[in-house]
Amino acid sequence: MNANEKSLMEAKANILKALGHPTRLWMAEQLAGGEKCVCELAENIDADFSTISKHLTVLKQAGVVIDEKRGKQVFYRLKVPCILNLMPCIEAVLQATAQSHIELVMDGRRSFSENMVIMSNNQMEKNR
């Protein structure tokens, strides 16, 4: 890793780190649906206003969101909308982890696809 590569990694890691907190990730996902004022975001977060404000500052510094003051309120929106595109892959990792846990419990006696069949049968049971 040379010096240039290193600063590129630092820059990219900084963005990922900004998204790497449950509250901030939730905020980013909310903003994917359009701009929101701080008060709207705060309605659904159980934390001090100052905490919320600081999380938004982190996202802003990372370049993920931008803010705009209009009247008494401050509105935040995604600066680059593609943030939403990250989620499918993150969810795939989650899914893969869940699958390994299942296989652990199953003691590796059945294959992935066999498990899928079993799971979907269970689902049908429930829905009956």
Partner DNA sequence: ATAACATTTGGTTGTTTTACCAAATGAGAA
Partner DNA sequence: TTCTCATTTGGTAAAACAACCAAATGTTAT
Instruction: Please report, as ranges, the residues that interact with a copy of itself according to CB under 8 A.
Output: 1, 5-6, 9-26, 44-46, 62-64, 79-80, 82-83, 85-94, 96-97, 100
What's the one-letter identity of residue 37? C
The whole-angstrom separation of Cα 11 and Cα 44 is 30
Q: Whose Cβ is closer to DNA: residue 16's or residue 117's?
A: 16
Residue 37 partner contact from a copy of itself, DNA, none using kind-dependent CB cut-offs of 5 to 8 Å:
DNA
Residue 108 Cβ, how far from a copy of itself at the closest point, in Å? 15
Strand ranges in the chain using DSSP code E only, listed in sequence order = 36-37, 65-70, 73-78
- Which listed range, 25-33, 72-80, 83-91, 98-106, lies at the site for DNA (CB under 7 A)? 72-80
- Among a copy of itself, DNA, none, residue 91 binds (CB under 5-8 Å by kind): a copy of itself
* Complete edge-to-edge strand list for the sheet that includes strand 73-78: 36-37, 73-78, 65-70
Supply the minimum distance, in Å, between the C-beta of residue 46 and DNA.
7
Binding range to DNA, per CB under 7 A, among 1-9, 65-73, 78-86, 101-109? 65-73
Decide if residue 11 touches DNA (CB under 7 A). Answer: no
Lookup: tokens for 95: 């899914």
What is the rounded CA–CA span in Å between residue 81 and residue 38?
19
- For residue 30, which of 61, 73, 59 has the smallest C-alpha distance? 59
Task: Map tokens 């909308």 to a residue.
Answer: 81
